[in-house]
Amino acid sequence: METKTSFKKVTASKKVQGDSVRKFGKPRKKRILLATTALLISMGLYSLIEPFWIEQKVYVINHPDIPASFDNARIVFLADIHHGRFFSRSRIRKVVDLTNKLNPQLILLGGDYVEGSPDYIEGCFEELGNLSAELGVYGVLGNHDHWQGADKTRETMAKQGILSIDNNAFWVQKDGQRIRVGGVGDYCEDVQRLEITTDKTLESDFVLLVSHSPDYALDITGDKVDLLLSGHTHGGQVTFFGLYAPKVPSRYGQRFRTGEKMVNSIQVIISNGIGTVLLPIRFFARPQMVIIQLEAS
């Protein structure tokens, strides 16, 4: 009899413990579900806000080939505007105003001006035509510009006073000294003729090259190019908190996702760009205006 009584007490105790687990388990699961839902909604809202939060990313370039007259010269590099359904003319106007307020001596454009339709080309460059820099505004084309109409893009650029450096180059002069500013055709949709930029230069000349895609950096031969500016990758556009992007439009993946790199003797700067592609979202890949501050050694 004593054994049976003991067994009943143990069974009752287990039953109480089970009821307690059921009682407190459901509210805990509900709290976790609510917290997870709130987090996902917050992340979704943030991804829609981030495309409007433009970062002014500054790089100081100190190089022995920079002439003394270019010391402290400011260059603004804008890439991947993607004017279209999700990036309005008024937003381009704001980018232009922000750029002009920086009082740059030189402005460089990295391609992918429009997305979705060639109808956006003229409006885009009517706004970009208001960019102002004492040493000029220069630009290359990106893959989207070829898809929407390379000839029309170049014609519209020229109409607005923007000089094409697609497989082209110019000597930019200041106080009797000069640097070489050139570009190459889009890595996916065009040919790249680097010799147009480098053939007339000396080892002592500072050579700045623009390529829409950073992948071209590994194709450059010789040691005449000092600085390469690129966009195209959007910084991955959607990343795991800035650490990794599931998709980067580069053969080299995360290596050329964003930021400053050294490729052989070339300093490479990769911008996150201004606009977005496909969807109007970014996540820990803020849009960027890249500001280059030159320093003569």
CATH number for position 270: 3.60.21.10
Boundary of a domain, candidates 52, 69, 95: 52
Number of domains in the chain: 2
Would you say residue 24 has pLDDT above 80? no
Boundary residue ending a domain (35, 52, 69) = 52
Q: Are strands 227-230 and 288-296 parallel, antiparallel or unpaired?
A: unpaired
Q: Which of 65, 102, 97, 66 has its CA nearest to residue 290?
A: 102
Domain range for 113:
55-296
* 88 and 235 both lie in a single domain: yes
Q: Do 40 and 176 reside in the same domain of the chain?
A: no
Per DSSP, the residues of 30-48 read HHHHHHHHHHHHHHHHHHH
Which segment of 18-22, 40-44, 261-265, 277-281 scores lowest on mean pLDDT?
Answer: 18-22
Predicted TM-score of the model (pTM): 0.89
Residues 90 and 197 in one domain: yes
The yes-or-no verdict on residue 37 having pLDDT over 90 is: no
Question: Do residue 210 and residue 289 come from a single domain?
Answer: yes
Last residue of a domain, one of 31, 52, 73: 52
CA distance 274 to 80: 6
What is the pLDDT confidence band of residue 126, given thresholds at 50, 70 and 90? Answer: very high
Task: Record the tokens describing residue 89, joined without a space.
Answer: 């003319």
* Confidence class for position 3, pLDDT limits 50, 70, 90: very low
